[in-house]
Amino acid sequence: MTDVSKDTNQSAVGLPVPDFTVACTGGDFTLFAHRGQAVVLYFYPKDNTPGCTTQAQQFRDLYAEFIKAGCIVLGVSRDSLKSHENFKQKLGLPFELIADTEGTLCRMFDVIKNKMMYGKQVVGIERSTFLIDRGGILRHEWRKTKADGNAATVIDIVRDTLMTL
């Protein structure tokens, strides 16, 4: 599997996203099987943490708007399927969560970063969101995003982008 970004300093916006199949709540997810639909992938650090809960709830609350715009939403973290199932049920999430336990998709989208947490350097997911259009082209990326307000920012761009394609 190749990286979506050519290197860490150059955006891959406008380039095709390689096909992938990953473990997901509700069964495996294959990008190619969703051609004809836009896809939002939002990467988050960990289930059941305050910021990740806020972000998931906001995507949940705007989910009908994403569907109306012809776009599906998927959350991605390195948590297990069991953790994702519990998180999804607890919050009533209408979208699937990808269990990238090996970090394959995280590396593909270059979201694994060194971060400071409680004064210690750790390796983890940098909160990031990606919009892939109906033809599999990366149309927009948000890196180092904040949990609160991310879904609202993304739906605005989804509406504008998908209306012009």
**AA identity, residue 24:** C
Lowest mean pLDDT of 14-23, 137-146, 154-163, name the range. 154-163
pTM: 0.90
Percent of the chain with pLDDT over 70: 91
Question: Residues 138-153: what's their mean pLDDT?
Answer: 96
Which of the following is catalytic: 24, 52, 71, 106?
Answer: 52
Number of domains in the chain: 1
**Residue 25: inside a domain:** yes
**Residue 81: inside a domain:** yes
Task: Note if 52 is an active site residue.
Answer: yes
pLDDT at residue 84 tops 50? yes
pLDDT of residue 8: 44
Owning domain of residue 55: 21-164
Q: For 88-114, what is each residue's pLDDT tens digit?
A: 999 999 999 999 999 999 999 999 988
Question: Residues 6-31: what's their mean pLDDT?
Answer: 84
Domain of 27, CATH number, reads 3.40.30.10
pLDDT at residue 115 tops 60? yes
pLDDT at residue 9 tops 50? no
